[in-house]
Amino acid sequence: MAITIKGITPLFQVYDMHRSVAFYRDVLGFEVLHKYEPDGHFYWAMLKHGDAVLMLNAKYEDEHRPGKPVRVAGHNDLTLYFDCPDVDGANTELRGKGCNVKEPETTRYGMKQLTVSDPDGFDLCFQQRAK
CATH number of 7-61: 3.10.180.10
CATH of 77-131, one of 3.30.470.20, 3.40.50.1860, 3.10.180.10, 3.30.565.10: 3.10.180.10
DSSP 126: E
Provide the pLDDT for residue 92: 96
Provide the pLDDT for residue 112: 97
DSSP 103: P
Provide the pLDDT for residue 91: 96
Q: Single out the residue of 71, 49, 54 nearest to residue 12, CA to CA.
A: 54
Provide the pLDDT for residue 129: 96
Give the span between the Cα atoms of 64 and 10, in whole angstroms: 24
The strand order across the sheet containing 105-106 reads 79-83, 123-129, 111-117, 105-106
So where are the chain's domains?
A: 7-61, 77-131
Same fold, 7-61 and 77-131: yes
- Averaged pLDDT, groups of 10, the chain, 131 residues long: 88 92 96 90 94 92 66 72 96 94 94 94 93 82
Query: Exposed, middle or buried: residue 47 (CB in 10 Å: 0-12, 13-18, 19+)?
Result: buried
